[in-house]
């Protein structure tokens, strides 16, 4: 969905669950997927132009801190897209 909507040259999905990543790779073959803790704030990629998170923040003990980390690690002019 994100890759289709944004027209990004590259879209990378991040999740800690290897099972989820395995299933996602079969559904979205044009995207890359990496096992990583998304709440860490640092990215296992170059600094992203966009970060999209949906249904994640409500499960974290300190979502404001995670949002700050994400924002700090964006590419210059990058955008956070957060949903609930």
SS3 annotation, the chain: CHHHHHCCCCCEEEECCHHHHHHHHHHCCCCEEEECCHHHCCCCCCCCCEEEEECCHHHCCCHHHHHHHHHHCCCCCCEEEEEC
Give the tens place of pLDDT for each residue, 10-20. Answer: 999 999 999 99
The pLDDT > 70 percentage for the chain reads: 99
Domain 2-83 class in CATH: alpha beta
Between 9 and 32, the more confident residue is 32
The pTM of this model reads 0.84
* 40 — pLDDT class (breaks 50, 70, 90): confident
């Amino acid at each position: 969905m994100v890759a289709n909507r944004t027209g990004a040259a590259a879209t990378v999905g991040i999740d800690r669950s290897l099972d989820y990543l395995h299933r996602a790779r079969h559904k979205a073959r044009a995207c890359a997927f990496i096992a990583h803790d998304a709440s860490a704030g640092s990215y296992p990629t170059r600094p992203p132009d966009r970060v999209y998170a949906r249904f994640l923040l409500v499960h974290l003990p300190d979502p404001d801190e995670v949002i700050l980390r994400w924002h700090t690690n964006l590419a210059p002019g990058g955008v956070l897209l957060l949903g609930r």
